[in-house]
Chain A
Amino acid sequence: MNGLIVKDLGMTYELPNGGSVEALRGVGFELAAGEMLTVLGPSGCGKTTLLNIVAGFLAPTAGKVWFGVDGAKPVTAPSRERGLVPGREPGLVTAPGRERGMVFQQGALFEWMSVADNIAFGPRMRGAGKKEMKDIVEQYLNTVGLAGFGNKAIYELSGGMQQRVALARCLANEPHLILMDEPLGALDALTREKMQSLILKIWNDTGKTIVLITHSVEEALMLGQRLFVMAPRPGRIEREYRLPFASRGLDGNLREIKTDAEYVEKREEILSMIWEMEEEIMGRQERAS
């Protein structure tokens, strides 16, 4: 019931000089509850635009997004809690809502709050009591492996630890869908791999639906049950994969999987696909100038 339906999304920006840019065209897919989707593509392919539309930060110029409804039929009454306005189409995404959480690349934590206060932010906003917040903080500090760090200041933590806090802050609000915008983009390779395991584990333990955007082909292959490769101008879904590696990564060694023949083959295939897209963009730019 907590599935995501994205239908025929299009996004055309009007430019101040009267022209327009088509950032997305005809993007549509359905994501079942508990699925993990990764989205990959060269810069300018509209993957962040897509995520921002699903989060409710941007209104698309064509198409619609529904969340939390079965097919097009409502399974729950519309409520403000779900970011929905009574009387409107049930499940239609028109604004950010607490059922769709988001983890950003670094810099979205609140530096003026302690780690604990960052994690308790969502519960506090809905008016949770002191005791409840304390329990929630405790629980999610444990989930992300930061037990005992509650009183630390954000700027005292390393980049990897900060992203753990960001993950805990998002989870503490109990969203049904978690959107991740290159959450590991600024981390070093080792920390990144640890965080990938953590994301897999959380996905498995909580059964959340996750959409993760990344620049890294390896990460997209490793984490995604489903993987979209997007192409630019206009942004669209070029290829879709269904992958076994995320489920295997749960009880296996991530690095072992990364040397697996199937994994390597897919990686090379996608890399050359993106390589070609980049080449084409460069060529177009050269011709234009």
Chain B
Amino acid sequence: MKWLQIALVRLGLRRSGEDARKTVSFGDPAAARGGYFWSFVSVAAVFALWYVATALQWTTPIFLPPPSDVWEQFHATATEGFRGYTLAQHIGVSVYRLLVGFALGCLIGIPIGFSMGLSRVLRGFFDPIVEFMRPIPPLALIPLMIIWAGIDDKPKIILLFLAALWIMVLAARSGVQSIRLSKIHAAYTLGASRTQVLFRVILPNSLPEIFTGMRVAMGVCWGTLVAAELVAADVGIGFMIVVGGKFLETGLVLVGVIVIGVIGAAIDVGMRKLEARLVPWKGMG
């Protein structure tokens, strides 16, 4: 019965250790940790509700097609494709745009954030630009992007780049400024040069906040992606959703939405794993 016990603990159905003896659990963070069983329940509940609602014809298929139709739609787009591209190709193009835009945002945003965290001149210089650009939703820039950059991959990538850029600038800046002065002082008394202080102290110290910024930026990029593919696109998950909406092919829209949700969640889980590996000291300083 030991395996059962282990399984129950893993699923969050049974408490172990000191947690099992606590008389006060309301408000204790440990009381809200690891309820994986209930995650299965929630997924199952959503599908069940979806199935029941369509089977009992509470709605019309145009409003909400049954799960089986969506599965068939998924299968069709995956094998036959949609508008000349298979589902995998649509996903590939979207993820390519997403990753290039996001990577550019990190590559340019992090050094700018660092310079703002390290120099009064650069802080003052970049501050108005960042503060002005940050609140502008990327969607508002779509017309400009099309006028300036045309209708191929470029405007979409630039839009995603801008979505990630300001978030990464701010994350890197606050990462730099979160350091304890005594760490910097310690490095100098140990004989470190400015370059050594930058790469061996300031940079690693800011990694936890940069990681948090990357996860936020990744989320915002997904949100921007569909919008970026709204206009003048002929391939991509966002494009698929938009066309599906235009022709009332609700199944197609749902396929796109589910695919985005699953990939987005998978990337976030991956980033969290990477974070736990690369910055295990996060929150322990």
Report the Cα distance A107→B183, complex, angstroms.
7
Cβ of B50 under 8 Å from chain A: no
B261-285: CB near A (< 8 Å → 1, else 0) gives 0000000000000000001110011
- Smallest CB-CB A-B distances: 10 pairs: A155-B284, A98-B191, A111-B281, A122-B190, A108-B182, A112-B204, A96-B188, A104-B182, A125-B191, A108-B186
Is A154 touching B281 in the complex (CB atoms < 8 A)? Answer: yes
Show 29 residue pairs from A and B whose CB-CB distance is below 8 angstroms, ordered by the A residue. Answer: A55-B189, A97-B189, A101-B189, A102-B185, A104-B186, A107-B182, A107-B285, A108-B180, A108-B183, A108-B185, A108-B186, A110-B200, A112-B279, A121-B192, A122-B190, A125-B187, A125-B190, A125-B191, A125-B192, A125-B196, A126-B191, A153-B281, A154-B281, A155-B281, A155-B284, A169-B186, A169-B190, A173-B191, A175-B189
Those of A60-79 within 8 Å (CB) of chain B: none
Cβ of B243 under 8 Å from chain A: no
Note all chain B residues with C-beta closer than 8 A to A154: 281
Which residue in chain B gives the minimum CB-CB distance to A172? B190
Cβ of B205 under 8 Å from chain A: yes
Is B185 touching A155 in the complex (CB atoms < 8 A)? Answer: no
Report the Cα distance A195→B187, complex, angstroms.
23
Is A102 touching B189 in the complex (CB atoms < 8 A)? Answer: yes
A88-102: CB near B (< 8 Å → 1, else 0) gives 000000001110111
Cβ of A105 under 8 Å from chain B: yes
Those of B174-230 within 8 Å (CB) of chain A: 180, 182-183, 185-193, 196, 200-201, 204-205, 207
Q: Which of A97, A110, A153, A155 has the most CB of B within 10 A?
A: A110
Is A121 touching B190 in the complex (CB atoms < 8 A)? Answer: yes
Interface, chain A (partner B; CB < 8 A) = 55, 57, 96-98, 100-102, 104-105, 107-112, 121-122, 125-126, 153-155, 169-170, 173, 175
Which residue in chain B gives the minimum CB-CB distance to A104? B182
Is A125 touching B185 in the complex (CB atoms < 8 A)? Answer: no
Q: Which of A105, A112, A173 contacts B207 (CB 8 A)?
A: A112
Is A125 touching B193 in the complex (CB atoms < 8 A)? Answer: yes
Interface, chain B (partner A; CB < 8 A) = 180, 182-183, 185-193, 196, 200-201, 204-205, 207, 279-281, 284-285
Which residue in chain A gives the minimum CB-CB distance to B283? A155
Is A104 touching B190 in the complex (CB atoms < 8 A)? Answer: no
Q: Which of B191, B204, B279 has the most CB of A within 10 A?
A: B191
Report the Cα distance A165→B202, complex, angstroms.
20
Nearest-CB distance from B216 to chain A (Å)? 22
Q: Which of A102, A125, A153 has the most CB of B within 10 A?
A: A125
Nearest-CB distance from A178 to chain B (Å)? 10
Note all chain A residues with C-beta closer than 8 A to B280: 153
Total A-B contacts with CB atoms under 8 angstroms apart: 73
Q: Which of B189, B280, B281, B284 has the most CB of A within 10 A?
A: B189
Report the Cα distance A57→B183, complex, angstroms.
13
Q: For the A-B complex with A108-B183, A125-B190 known, give 12 more contacts whose Cβ atoms are closer than 8 Å.
A: A55-B185, A101-B189, A102-B185, A104-B182, A104-B185, A109-B186, A110-B183, A110-B201, A121-B200, A122-B191, A155-B284, A170-B189
Nearest-CB distance from A168 to chain B (Å)? 12
Is A105 touching B190 in the complex (CB atoms < 8 A)? Answer: no
Note all chain A residues with C-beta closer than 8 A to B186: 102, 104, 108-109, 169
Report the Cα distance A110→B185, complex, angstroms.
12
Report the Cα distance A251→B190, complex, angstroms.
32
Note all chain B residues with C-beta closer than 8 A to A109: 183, 186
Which residue in chain B gives the minimum CB-CB distance to A57? B185
Note all chain B residues with C-beta closer than 8 A to A153: 280-281
Nearest-CB distance from B195 to chain A (Å)? 11
Report the Cα distance A155→B208, complex, angstroms.
15
Note all chain A residues with C-beta closer than 8 A to B285: 107, 111, 155
Note all chain A residues with C-beta closer than 8 A to B200: 110, 121
Nearest-CB distance from B188 to chain A (Å)? 4
Is A110 touching B204 in the complex (CB atoms < 8 A)? Answer: yes
Q: Which of A100, A105, A121, A126 contacts B182 (CB 8 A)?
A: A105
Note all chain A residues with C-beta closer than 8 A to B196: 125
Known: A110-B204, A111-B285, A112-B204. A98 touches B190 (CB 8 A): yes
Is A96 touching B189 in the complex (CB atoms < 8 A)? Answer: yes
Nearest-CB distance from A117 to chain B (Å)? 10
Report the Cα distance A240→B228, complex, angstroms.
73
Note all chain A residues with C-beta closer than 8 A to B189: 55, 96-98, 100-102, 170, 173, 175
Report the Cα distance A163→B180, complex, angstroms.
16
Nearest-CB distance from A51 to chain B (Å)? 11
Note all chain B residues with C-beta closer than 8 A to A125: 187, 190-193, 196
Which residue in chain B gives the minimum CB-CB distance to A52? B185
Note all chain B residues with C-beta closer than 8 A to A126: 191
Note all chain A residues with C-beta closer than 8 A to B188: 57, 96
